[in-house]
Every structure is written in C-alpha cells, then in structure tokens.
Chains A and B, each alone.
Chain A
Amino acid sequence: MFDGSNKEQTSDKGSVSYAEGEDFIHIENLSKIYKRDDSETVAIEDFSINIKKGELISIVGPSGCGKTTILRMIAGLLEPTSGTITVAGHPCDKPGPDRGMVFQDFALMPWRSVIKNVELGMEMAGVPKEERRKRAEEYISIVGLEKFKDARINELSGGMKQRVGIARALVNHPDVLLMDEPFGALDAQTRNLMQAGLIKILDKTDQTIIFITHSVDEAVYLSDRIVVLTKRPAKIKEIIEIPWPRPRDRASPDFTALRKHILDELEKENVLDD
C-alpha cells in the first residue's frame, strides 16, 4: 500500500517557492459566525496559526467545535466572517486544486472508474489526455491500486475508496492537503494501514497536510504538531510539537503519556459542555 518511489516537487505555480520548514500557510484572526434567520452561531473566534511547508498538523477538539468550518474556509468553500488565510502567498477566497481535499465520506463520483476519478481535476484543467492518464496511473500506483484502476467505485472497500480520494487530491500537486476525518469511516485495522500509508507519502514528499481527527491516538501517531481546540467557539487551547521520528511506537511511555495528556485536556472541555 502507498508504495512507489516518487519524489514530489514543490508546486510549480506561484512566484515564490518555499523550502521545507518555512512558514507556508498563514491564518490570521480568523472568525466565522453562522447567521441563520434570527440565530447566530459563533463557530470560530480569533483563530491564528502559521503552518510550515511539509508539516503535518492535526486539529483535535470537542465534537462540533468548528474543525470542519476551519478546513472549509482554507479550502475556499466557505467565506470567513473576518480574518485572512493565505496558502503559499495566495488568498483562499475560492476553492481550487492547489488545496486538495479528502472527505470523510470519500465523495467519489460513482459513475466514474477509479482512474477517471483521479483524472477529474486534470480533465477540468484541460490537461491533455495522454499526460492525464500517465499522471493518474502514477498516483494510483503510489496508493497501491494499480490492479483496480479500471474498477468501479462501488466495487471498492472503504479503505480503497479513501486511497482513491487521496490520489485524486495529490495528483494535482496541491500546496496543502486538507483531510477532514479521512479515516473516520474505516474500521480500526484499515485505519492503521492507512496511517502507515500516509507516513510513507510523508517520507517521500514534502506534502503539507492539515489533518482533522477525532482520534487522539491517530493525531499523536501522525503529527508534527497537534492543535487542541476549545469547545465552540473554537479557540486554540494548546499547540503540541512532536519531534519524534515516524513510524512511532504506540506502546512507548512517551506516546501513551502524550495521548493521556491530550485526552485529559479534551475531557475538561467536554465537562464544561452546555
């Protein structure tokens, strides 16, 4: 799974090129208020963070605190009430393939084959057929689905579907990969396999990833940094750096201690829940 030896280059668009470890995504004073008829929901309040090129940053927080809201604003699917977001120097005022998104429910087009799903972004960008096919095949093999490239989506297991989702986003060389509980719909075993696969991609590329998860274990296993959010309106409660190399040993004392610490923090948020 997730094999192949492709060394990913930084995005070729944009005037400035960023080196790994350089500040790459800037989120400043971001707020989101959902207005509906007479009621207002403050989902995000004054959220700021800088994310480095090549970093995998996880966002954990109580259910309904506003994690998806943050991700959708970065994707350009949702307009912030105030504040600014830039990715590689570009403002995120509309969605585009430079910010690839991976969905919890996969969101694959069931009428397209695996390879046709992966080709969709390039198809819409007008990439010639030959090149489209070649690039799609390359990414399908990175996620280990060569044998299934012509399969129909409903013939695939959940894990395979999400690998298509990942290939579909990565094939467009996004500046950042936005993943909203990408493994949340998978069983525990598949989930572990997918995490290991994602680590392999991280090893071979300098892909920047923003990863939302409900699983603290998953966050500690994968992340360079974990952002712990408060309950709604989401504010940053704590940012934890994890310098350990990957793959990580889930049974190590450091791992379990950190996991417990984060779970305790989240527990406090839930106790205060209204």
Chain B
Amino acid sequence: MSFKYDKNNKYHRLGKNALIVVVSLTVFVLAWWVVSILAHSTVIPTPIKTFDALISFLQDGYLGISAGRYISASLTLFLKGFLLAFVLAVPLGLILGFSKSLNTFVTPIIEVLRPIAPMAWAPVFIYGISYDTGPMLVVFIGIFFPLLTNVIFGVKKIDPSLVDAALTLGASKFHLFTKVMAPSAIPYIMNGIKVGLGVGWMCIVAAEMYNPRGFGVGYCISDMCFNGLWPSTFAMLIIIAALGILTTSLAEYLQKYVSKRMGVE
C-alpha cells in the first residue's frame, strides 16, 4: 500500500466530511424555515429575514453603535477574564499539584466554591462590585475552575520515572518543578484552556445582560429582545455562535499544536 493511496484516502475522507457538514447545515436551515412558517409568529423570523437583519447589523450597528464595537467590547472583556484566570490558575495549580500539604489545605475551599454555577456569581459581582468588572469576574470564574482542575490533574499525572530520571541527573526541587513538572503539565493546561474558554464564552453573554451600560453582544441581544426586534435577535444569536465556535476552535488548534510540540499526541 503506497503513501499516495493513503493521502488520497485522506482527501476523500475530508471531502466526505465537508459534504456531511454542508448537508447537515442545510437541513438545519430548512427545518428552521419550516418551523418559522408553521409557527407564524414574529418571535421566530425566517432565515431570510434573519439574514437581512444580520447584514444590516453588521453594516449599521445598533442604537448608533457599530457591530464592531459590540463585538470587540465582549472580546476584550473575555480576554481580560481569561488572562486573570490564567495567571492565577496555572501557578496555583502547579503549586497545589507539587505540594501535598498545601493541596490538602486548599482542596476543601476549592471543592466548596467549584460547584457554584459561574452565572450564580453574576448578580453578586455585577451589583456588588461594578457593572464594568462584574461580567469580567464572571468569565474569570467560568475559566478559572476548569483550568485549575486540569493543571492539578496534569501535575499529578506526571510519569514518576521522569521524576526519577531528573533526580538521577542531579535535579534540585526547583529543577524538578521547572524541567519536569511544568513542561509535562502543559498539555493539560491547554486542555483546561480549551474547556475554560467554552464555559467562559457562555458566561460572558449572560453576564453582560445584567449590565445596562455595557456595549457587549450580551447587552445588545437582550436589548433587541426587549424591543421585540426578533430578526435582529436571531442575527445576534448567529454572531454569538460564530464567535463561540471561533474561540473554541482556536483553543482546540492551539491545544493540538502544543501537545505535538511537547511530544504527546
């Protein structure tokens, strides 16, 4: 069996997958169409009307504010929440994975806080702290816990013979941390980021709805809804879905790339 045969086979499979995706999306749009006609309600606009609303939102914005500003406001908030979660969860996870006693001390606290749905924090953060930092903190919570658990898991999953090997090569505790633990945890950190970004994106849209002064997509869609602008609302749903897909596929791509670089596939 030649290499070329396999390659062709791969393209064949890719083509087939693409075809399935196109068919499935077509079926989805058609079903939506049928439902919108049967329901005969303004709440469910047809795909055509939605598409028009989407174009006009992208061109003219909403309430005199451009589409780009809504989107970038959300993405900025998202990025801030992510960065805060990253700089706190990664070192903390590494240390907790490394030190048994510290882990025993902190675990009960984490286990109490972790099951609280990130959205339950939204009113607390937004009304209790501020309209601006509140939604960011909700995103932070959404990303922080999945990331932290993955980092701790990563450190615990370290191959003990790698630790032995490093020790027999003269590793100090500090070296063990920097030369073995941290690098072997990286693929798990990436997995935590992937999961965290998914949760975080769900959080931000909902969290922004609480903010009457915000200009994110969450605020935008709730205002459209409130004013009965259903085609625009649906258009926003599409934008939110697209941004969500974009962030998770970026995270997925990064995770695959990093895992490959770190020699684990």
Which residues on A are within 8 Å of B, measured CB to CB?
Answer: 72, 75-77, 95-97, 99-101, 103, 105, 107-112, 120-121, 123-125, 152-154, 168-169, 172, 178
A-B contact pairs, 15 of them (CB 8 A): A95-B164, A95-B170, A103-B165, A107-B165, A109-B162, A109-B165, A109-B263, A120-B166, A123-B179, A124-B170, A124-B171, A153-B263, A168-B165, A169-B168, A169-B169
Query: Chain A CB within 10 Å — which of B159, B164, B172, B264 has the most?
Result: B164
Q: Are B168 and A120 in contact (CB under 8 A)?
A: no
Instruction: State in angstroms the CA–CA spacing of A103 and B167 once bound together.
Output: 13
The residue that A172 contacts in the complex, of B164, B169, B171, B183, with Cβ under 8 A, is B169
B213 interface hit (Cβ, 8 Å): no
Q: Which residues in A have their C-beta under 8 angstroms from that of B179?
A: 109, 120, 123-124
Q: Which residues in B have their C-beta under 8 angstroms from that of A105?
A: 161
Instruction: State in angstroms the CA–CA spacing of A109 and B181 once bound together.
Output: 11
Q: Are B180 and A109 in contact (CB under 8 A)?
A: yes
Instruction: State in angstroms the CA–CA spacing of A76 and B161 once bound together.
Output: 14
B262 interface hit (Cβ, 8 Å): yes
B111 interface hit (Cβ, 8 Å): no
Q: Which residues in A have their C-beta under 8 angstroms from that of B161?
A: 103, 105, 107
Q: Which residues in A have their C-beta under 8 angstroms from that of B165?
A: 101, 103, 107-109, 168
B6 interface hit (Cβ, 8 Å): no
Instruction: State in angstroms the CA–CA spacing of A120 and B262 once bound together.
Output: 16
Q: Which residues in B have their C-beta under 8 angstroms from that of A99?
A: 168
Which residues on B are within 8 Å of A, measured CB to CB?
Answer: 159, 161-162, 164-172, 175, 179-180, 183-184, 186, 261-265
Q: Are B183 and A95 in contact (CB under 8 A)?
A: no
Instruction: State in angstroms the CA–CA spacing of A172 and B161 once bound together.
Output: 19
Closest to B258 in A: A111
Instruction: State in angstroms the CA–CA spacing of A108 and B170 once bound together.
Output: 15
The 5 closest A-B pairs by CB, nearest first: A110-B263, A121-B169, A107-B165, A107-B161, A111-B262
Closest to B262 in A: A111
A97-B183 CB under 8 A given contacts A103-B161, A111-B262, A124-B175: no
Instruction: State in angstroms the CA–CA spacing of A42 and B78 once bound together.
Output: 58
Q: Which residues in B have their C-beta under 8 angstroms from that of A153?
A: 263
Q: Are A107 and B164 in contact (CB under 8 A)?
A: yes
Instruction: State in angstroms the CA–CA spacing of A125 and B186 once bound together.
Output: 24
Closest to A103 in B: B161
Closest to A178 in B: B168
Distance to closest chain A CB from B251 (angstroms):
20
Q: Which residues in A have their C-beta under 8 angstroms from that of B169?
A: 97, 100, 120-121, 124, 168-169, 172
